[in-house]
Amino acid sequence: MRATGAGGPNPLVKFASQLWGSIFRHGLPSTDKVAARTALTNFFLHIHPVRVKKSAIRVSYTLCLGGLSFFLFILLTISGLFLMFYYIPSVDQAYQNIKDLQFVETFGLVTRNLHRWAAHGMVITVWLHMARVFYQGSYKPPREFNWAIGSILLVVTLLLSFSGYLLPWDQLAVWAITVGTNMAKYAPIAGPYTRYVMLGGRTVGQGALIRFYVLHVVALPLIGFILMVIHFWRVRKDGFTGGL
């Protein structure tokens, strides 16, 4: 909303207009050309191509699933950030922190719920996204490598969810992780060591909590984010498969 016409000497209007123009190089697109320029010069929009095939953006084609996975990732990052303000990864405090989030902190309950349900949701959308890519044969050349990156993203998504599961430090958390990490034990030779490294000990205790915490809030989101950037870059470069 440029202050068009209001060319009066009002310095406030002038400043507002300069400020707006310095951030957004273009107004709302009136022609295709302006629309193209908008997309090209806006950081958040430039991950998109300027034009897309009409068939490729039919909702029935992508079902929005890749995009929704990414959006849930952002939602999880934001809600997770708020949870981090209150959560201390210590076996003595973690459980009480979660209780406080539920019963004391303003909006603590809904933030925690949101984080939890979005996490489950992301596991589902990533899975469905994988299924849609498969059924449409979108993994075929030249997109083989992007499928491989996607596969790793699926694993990262599962690990993110799994590592978060332990953090509330309630009976559900600790025993689910006990069962989950017991599975790693069965690998020949490496198994018991793998489990020991995952847990930082033989049982699920403080060592496991801090490891899972660091993985959950730093390592895995970072890995996931980098992989997503590559994933999107390749979607751009390889082009969208488009309708059948």
26-45 binders of other proteins (CB under 8 A): 29, 32, 35-36, 38-40, 42, 45
Q: For the segment 8-27, give every residue that binds other proteins (CB under 8 A).
A: none
Q: Is the peptide bond before 142 cis (omega within 30 degrees of 0)?
A: yes
118 scored as a contact of ligand HEM (CB under 6 A): no
Cα–Cα dist 43/59, whole Å: 24
230 scored as a contact of other proteins (CB under 8 A): no
Distances from the Cα of 196 to the Cα of 158, 172, 201, 207, 230, angstroms: 20, 21, 5, 10, 32
Q: Which is nearer to other proteins, 131 or 222 (CB)?
A: 131
> Tokens representing 114?
């949101």
Number of residues that bind ligand HEM (CB under 6 A): 26
Contacted entry of other proteins, ligand HEM, none for residue 66, CB cut-off 5 to 8 Å set by kind: ligand HEM
Cα–Cα dist 132/51, whole Å: 23
186 scored as a contact of other proteins (CB under 8 A): yes
* Among positions 2, 25, 51, 202, the unique one binding other proteins when judged by CB under 8 A: 51
The widest CA-to-CA distance across the chain, in whole angstroms, is 80
110 scored as a contact of other proteins (CB under 8 A): yes
50 scored as a contact of other proteins (CB under 8 A): yes
CB of 32 to ligand HEM, least distance (A): 23
129 scored as a contact of ligand HEM (CB under 6 A): yes
* Among positions 160, 174, 215, 217, the unique one binding other proteins when judged by CB under 8 A: 174
Q: Minimal CA–CA distance to 223: which of 164, 159, 166? A: 159
Q: For the segment 69-98, give every residue that binds ligand HEM (CB under 6 A).
A: 69-70, 73
Q: Minimal CA–CA distance to 216: which of 224, 205, 227, 207? A: 224
Contacted entry of ligand HEM, other proteins, none for residue 231, CB cut-off 5 to 8 Å set by kind: ligand HEM
Q: Residue written as tokens 């790693």? A: 184
Contacted entry of ligand HEM, other proteins, none for residue 129, CB cut-off 5 to 8 Å set by kind: ligand HEM
Contacted entry of other proteins, ligand HEM, none for residue 153, CB cut-off 5 to 8 Å set by kind: ligand HEM
Cα–Cα dist 192/184, whole Å: 7
161 scored as a contact of ligand HEM (CB under 6 A): no
Instruction: Find the length of the chain.
Output: 244
**Phi, psi for 166 (deg, rounded to 5):** -75, -25
Q: Count Cβ atoms below 10 Å from residue 14 Cβ, excluding itself.
A: 14
* Among positions 26, 38, 65, 166, the unique one binding ligand HEM when judged by CB under 6 A: 65
